[in-house]
Amino acid sequence: MVNLNTSKSGINVITGIANPERESFVARTLFESGKNIISRAISGEELMAALKNRVLDGTRWIVIFAKDLPGINAIELGKWNDSETSIIELGVGGVPLDLNSLNELIARSLRNPLLHSNSAAPFNTSPRYRSLVGVIGSAGAPGRTSIAMNLAAESSQKHETAIVDADNVAPAMALLLGQSDEKLRNEFKVSAKLSLYTDLSATNEKFQALIDLNSKIYVDLGVMPKISDAIIDRRKSAQEFAHWFEKLSAIIYVANSEEYSIRALERFIDNRADLPKNIKDFYILNKSGTSRRHKAIERRFFDLVPLDLGMVIPYDYSSFDRAQTNCSPIHGVAPRSAIRKSFVELLARIENLEA
């Protein structure tokens, strides 16, 4: 039996290449990029044995092989291409093997679960949890946390609802809702049907319990990173972000009425193909005023976003000031305000999006 001890790098490699010069080049390239070869197979049978005996402990595996490997045609490697293991065949399409092309093949294989819509892509075929909505957006405080909080508060008027603060950079939900005791922040009741979680991941049992209870769940994910980079980022925060994107049914992207935020939205839309194809999306232009500049930004927003997938939320300074002072969602301090009506409409549109 092949005994495979995993590397601490988080990315383990198995090679199956007969040509010694090519194999040496691949090994050197992997070493220079901080990846270790755990097994070097000299036949198709040995490559299969290495695959069967690899340890799946949360690390990612890459298999790099070439058709010159003896016995390679007798095994089926395609079925091993999943969320833990990426398969790379060298020499496909006559692409020359150089440093840049090999590194690109490796980077692309690590992004593969998110980037492809075929049956081998688990990020696209894994079950989506209905009523699990992520809130993301540009940097610069566009109002992601406020949107997530008020959307969840409206949902809790009729349904059991959970709001998750998964912003690893600037978590603020507990403070906004008046919970200053660090010992109590991980989980507490905001109202009869609304609970806040600040230490909940998409992989633990408590999350699954909420799903089993058919709770509506809204997740404040913070600033949207470049998703293709997040998938190969070994840091815990990036991996947690990726785990949420395995399960979300929809995302809400929040921009505000500033030029830099609209440019960030443009980049997000340009890179939309990097996201799983079975996640639905909705766009919000937040904190919009009545000035000519803000109206011009609104027009740009709807040039980028279809009318049925976008919504403008005006900024109501008075209502938000009262909400922050009272550590309350908008419906608790301004139940008849225009801004509250905007959140009611937003909830209806998100629920319709999920239907």
- Dist. CA 312–CA 255, nearest whole Å: 10
pLDDT of 136 strictly over 90: yes
**Range ranked top by mean pLDDT from 82-86, 184-188, 197-201, 230-234:** 197-201
Alpha-carbon distances, residue 23 vs 17, 50, 103 (angstroms): 6, 17, 15
- Of all residues in the chain, the percent with pLDDT exceeding 70 is 83
Return the CATH number at 39.
3.40.50.2300
pLDDT of 161 strictly over 90: yes
Is the domain of 49 the same as that of 170? no
Return the CATH number at 152.
3.40.50.300
Q: For residue range 225-253, what is the model confidence (pLDDT) as tens digits?
A: 766 555 555 556 666 777 788 788 899 99
Q: What pLDDT does 140 receive?
A: 80
The average pLDDT across 274-299 equals 89
Is the domain of 242 the same as that of 290? yes
Q: What pLDDT does 332 receive?
A: 86
Range of the domain at 210: 128-354
Residue 211 in domain:
yes
Lowest mean pLDDT among 88-97, 100-109, 192-201, 312-321: 88-97
Average pLDDT, the chain: 81
Question: Do the Cβ atoms of 257 and 299 come closer than 8 Å?
Answer: no
Residue 16 in domain:
yes
Is the domain of 114 the same as that of 157? no
Domain boundary among 123, 154, 170: 123
Q: For residue range 139-149, what is the model confidence (pLDDT) as tens digits?
A: 887 889 999 99
Tell me the pLDDT band of 286, cut-offs 50, 70 and 90.
very high
- Of all residues in the chain, the percent with pLDDT exceeding 90 is 32
Is the domain of 101 the same as that of 221? no
Residue 1 in domain:
no
Is the domain of 208 the same as that of 243? yes
Is the domain of 151 the same as that of 195? yes
Is the domain of 307 the same as that of 178? yes
pLDDT of 123 strictly over 50: no
Domain count, the chain: 2
Is the domain of 94 the same as that of 116? yes
Domain boundary among 91, 123, 155: 123
Domain boundary among 75, 99, 123: 123
